[in-house]
Amino acid sequence: MKNERVIFLTNDDGWRAKGFEAAIEVARRFGRVIAVAPEQPQSGKSQAITIYDPLYLKRVRDEEGVTVYSLTGTPVDCVKMAFDHLFRDTKFDLAISGINHGSNAATNVLYSGTMGAAMECSFYNVPTIGLSLTDHAADADFAGAVEYGAKIVEQVLKGDAPLPLCLNVNVPNIPREELKGVRLCRQTRGFWRDIIYRREDPIGREYFWFTGGFENAEPEATESDEWALANGYVAVVPVKVDMTAYEQMESLRDIVE
């Protein structure tokens, strides 16, 4: 169809992930799907790009309405490959990054390859949705994320929000029928507290394993994304690349000027 919408898709869990298939299910309801996704999982890569290694591109799926490429790089590499090389003359109507296996709420947004790719897409003046489910399991149930993801996509496509637009959407890991709806939120204040384990491999070399957990600095803040998720709501946070702390500008003038 001449006026068919074109939806771009990527993720950070790799093109074989169940969540990526769920994202295709969402996107193909609204138009033709073109995807470039990592060959291997790339969680935690934020907006990293590959500089010192070659990248290998392969078309892994081509059927009516859906074309998928894999790339041996980061999620942001995938976006750049699509927008600056493969489809530089294509007008995309929307971009979706996900559906991620695991939450990208609160400060997770800073580390997330899913949200790094989403932010990169927004640089091209394409309305973008980073979509995540708060379940890391490979066989997670994405029914609720698909249903509410489609509702949000529909509203974005028929809306007139100014560009650039990048939404960080997180869906709680509860049965679809228990989801209470959607809440527009702000990012929760908090931080990750890391636990680092030291071990030795079979030949005596030491190695380290990072783990830890998120510490919510404001668990009672009802306008935050973590509160929404804990109380059964889909959390939607508009995000942007400008990290300037404007509220500190005046107080710093006497120090730096």
Choose among 129, 230, 130: nearest CA to 179: 230
What's the whole-number mean pLDDT along residues 48-59? Answer: 98
- Judge whether 94 and 127 are in contact, CB under 8 Å: yes
Q: What is the rounded average pLDDT of the residues 90-100?
A: 97
User: Exposed, middle or buried by CB within 10 Å (0-12, 13-18, 19+), for 173?
Assistant: middle
- Give the mean model confidence (pLDDT) for residues 129-150: 97
Which residue ranges make up each domain of the chain? 6-189+221-256
Residue 159 has pLDDT above 90, yes or no: no
Separation of first and last alpha carbons in the chain: 58
> In what order do the strands lie in the sheet containing 6-10?
57-63, 66-71, 32-38, 6-10, 94-101, 128-133, 166-171, 234-238, 182-184
Is 2 a residue whose pLDDT tops 60? no
Closest to 94 measured CA to CA, from 48, 144, 143, 34: 34
pLDDT at residue 257 in the model? 76
Confidence class for position 1, pLDDT limits 50, 70, 90: very low
Give me Rg for the CA atoms of the chain: 19
- Domain covering 6-189+221-256, topology: Stationary-phase Survival Protein Sure Homolog; Chain: A, (3.40.1210)
Question: For residue 63, what are the β-bridge partners?
Answer: 66
Task: Say what the pTM is.
Answer: 0.94
> Could you count the other beta carbons within 10 Å of the beta carbon of residue 177?
7
Confidence of residue 174 (pLDDT cuts 50, 70, 90): very high
